[in-house]
Amino acid sequence: MEAATRQAHPGGRWPISLVVLAAAIAILGWLGIERGDELSQAGSFHGRQGVWLVLAGCAMCVGSRTPLDWLRRGAWPAFGVGIMLLVLVYFFPARWGSRRWIPLGVLYFQPSELAKIAFIVTLARYLESRESHRRLGGLVVPFGITLLPLGLILKEPDLGTSLLFLPVLFAMLVAAGARLWHLGLVAVLGVSIMPLFWQAISAEQRSRITAVFQQRDGRAPTVGKADGFHLHQSKQVLALGGAWGSQVEGTRVEDPAAYYLPACRTDFVICMVGERLGLPGTLGVLTLYSLLFLRGLWIAAGARDGFARLVAVGVVALLAAQTIINTGMTVGLLPVTGITLPLMSYGGSSLLFTGFALGLLVNVSRQPRDMFDMEPFRFATARVQLP
């Protein structure tokens, strides 16, 4: 359909369905964290999570009200700050075997969360006004923008977060009009250098990958072999919930070791939801995430501004990749990587920046936009050139 024949509306209103979906996911995560407190009989993480959720809601409001022109002009400075903070973490002592956090008194800030948002905004800023990425050689700069934070995060080491950058890059390149056969060629090249990547990662990271191919039923692996142990326990805790969950069936195994799952409130929070609410709870979480991502793509599809469209696509790709990796690792389909589940896992930095990212989606939806039809799904048809 021609642009002149499209109907348009001025925007300005919040996408209530997006907010409701995000709130429902956050509530299920809060219930899972509460269950983790009950099973571990230690701490009150669900109380603190409630505070972080309120702050995440504030961050969402900030993201929804931040002028897109500010984001456009501040993209490269924000990217520079993100890179500097990723370097700064190496000057602080390691926690739990990695350098991912900057201590701020009693709190710890994780710069990789800021780097993810800065990366999306910067890549959108670069792609919106150029056509070079439609050529094979023009992909060098977007991949350079991607590999710099990716390499720093991988070295921390944080395999899970580093894995998010490439899916986001490919999604945004497709939305910006890059040729699919160029991206396919790059993907084949990437697969061909996997042996070099294998040698570059640490022994611990390699063990997390090999653990996926060494799964077995029965007795749990030794606790010291954390990768196989985490994977075994996550699947066992999910199974202990039964079909309808322990809260309905009243099932409870007397052996406390059966419920022991490190990081049950963070990386494996969906296991707590499955144990508490059973299969309907787990499927409900996945359904809510799917609807949230579809709503985000709907928002991206109707955006008139090329920068706004690319930011929306990047946010959806980031949250979707993070959700797929996290849920995949809990059931043994993907390596255990230590990555949080958006809106559900306990943690300040993750929740705040997830809230801000969702606020950017709200922001895009409030801009003047086209009414939904099939044409907006051709994301690259309406490009905005910078003056």
Q: Is the pLDDT of residue 169 over 90?
A: yes
- How far is it, in rounded angstroms, from Cα 273 to Cα 24? 13
103 phi, psi to nearest 5 deg: -70, 135
CB 275 within 8 A of CB 245: yes
Tokens of 376: 């907006």
Residue 219: band (very low, low, confident or very high) from pLDDT cuts 50, 70, 90: low
**Bridge partners of residue 127, in order along the sequence:** none
Q: Name the least confident of 77-86, 121-130, 245-254, 370-379.
A: 370-379
Only one residue has tokens 């099973």, namely 39
Dihedral sign, Cα of residue 261, residue 44, residue 25, residue 319 = negative
CB 92 within 8 A of CB 115: no
pLDDT score of 239: 84
CB 157 within 8 A of CB 202: yes
The percentage of residues in the chain with a pLDDT greater than 70, rounded to a whole number, is 86
Q: Is the pLDDT of residue 153 over 90?
A: yes
DSSP state of 380: G
55 phi, psi to nearest 5 deg: -65, -35
Looking at residues 42-56, what average pLDDT do you find? 88
Q: Which of 289, 359, 337 is nearest to 63 (CA)?
A: 359
- How far is it, in rounded angstroms, from Cα 233 to Cα 221? 9
Q: Which of 27, 109, 114 is nearest to 63 (CA)?
A: 114
pLDDT score of 158: 86
Kindly provide the b/e burial profile for residues 78-111, where b requires at least 16 CB atoms within 10 angstroms of the residue's own CB: bbeebbebbeebeeeeeeeebbbbbeeeeeebbb
Q: Is the pLDDT of residue 373 over 70?
A: no
Looking at residues 325-342, what average pLDDT do you find? 89
9 phi, psi to nearest 5 deg: -130, 155
Q: Is the pLDDT of residue 273 over 70?
A: yes
Tokens of 344: 């559900």
Tokens of 149: 């934070």
CB 295 within 8 A of CB 301: no
- How far is it, in rounded angstroms, from Cα 345 to Cα 339? 9
DSSP state of 166: H
Summary count for the chain: helices (H), strands (E)? 15, 4
**pTM value?**
0.88
Looking at residues 235-256, what average pLDDT do you find? 74
Amino acid letter, 86: L
SS3 304: coil
- How far is it, in rounded angstroms, from Cα 58 to Cα 19? 13
Residue 255: band (very low, low, confident or very high) from pLDDT cuts 50, 70, 90: low
Kindly provide the b/e burial profile for residues 281-317, where b requires at least 16 CB atoms within 10 angstroms of the residue's own CB: bbebbeebbebbbebbbbbbbbbbbbbbbbbbbbbbb
